[in-house]
Structure 1
Amino acid sequence: MPSTRVASVPRQRTRRPAPAVPLGSLTQVAPSEVAGCPSCEAPRVTRLAMTLTDGTPAVFTSCSRCDHRGWEAEGSLLSIDDVLARTRRPV
């Protein structure tokens, strides 16, 4: 009887998907671990995580209830002047 030989197939590694990051939305209530509006505490806000030009990680929050617009970095609020200074490119 002829021998049956099975060709070995290399195993492919499967990557685990990265955990989903909760996104802000005006139509969804913020998850309990994500703060709402720092001004009126409304749960429906838009939050955008970004890195400013100087490398500072920041979060922009916009509230449609009270019209609050602001940036936070390292646990404190940033003024518009501070945000603009951190986003200027060196000349």
Structure 2
Amino acid sequence: MPAANAPRASRRPRATRTAPPLGSLTQAAHRETVTCGPCGSERVTQLSMSLTDGTPVRFVSCHVCEERTWTSDTGPITVDAVLDRTRKQ
């Protein structure tokens, strides 16, 4: 029996996942160039995430005109559709 303070051996190796590069909200040199569709401003916040149902989406919020958009691999998603996909079953 292993000692009480001994580290446990891993049962199986974890798959290595390559994370997308992180952007920066404060350092322009580390930001992706994304513009707001309606006003063209580059002053946007962009977040990539997965909704509760597993749908990968990109959320973009403009600091100038306050436009907010949700986009999946298939195109734009309405706020109502995002809310439906994030409800727990």
RMSD, matched Cα: 2.4
Q: Is the 8 A contact 1:27 1:44 kept in 2?
A: no
Gaps of 5+ in 1: 1-17
Identity of aligned residues (%): 35
Once residues 38 and 80 of structure 1 are traced to their aligned partners in structure 2, the CA distance between those partners, rounded to angstroms, is: 16
Q: Is the 8 A contact 1:25 1:44 kept in 2?
A: no
Once residues 68 and 75 of structure 1 are traced to their aligned partners in structure 2, the CA distance between those partners, rounded to angstroms, is: 20
- Give 1:43 deviation, angstroms: 1.3
Once residues 26 and 40 of structure 1 are traced to their aligned partners in structure 2, the CA distance between those partners, rounded to angstroms, is: 21
Count of aligned pairs between the two proteins: 71
TM-score w.r.t. structure 1 length? 0.64
Once residues 75 and 89 of structure 1 are traced to their aligned partners in structure 2, the CA distance between those partners, rounded to angstroms, is: 23
Q: Which has the larger radius of gyration?
A: 1
Find the counterpart in structure 2 of residue 21 from structure 1.
21
Gaps of 5+ in 2: 1-17
Q: Is the 8 A contact 1:24 1:45 kept in 2?
A: no
- Give 1:28 deviation, angstroms: 3.0
Alignment map for 1:10-49 (pairs within 5 Å)? 21-25=21-25, 28=28, 30-31=31-32, 34-49=33-48
Which residue type is aligned with residue 44 of structure 2?
V
TM-score w.r.t. structure 2 length? 0.65
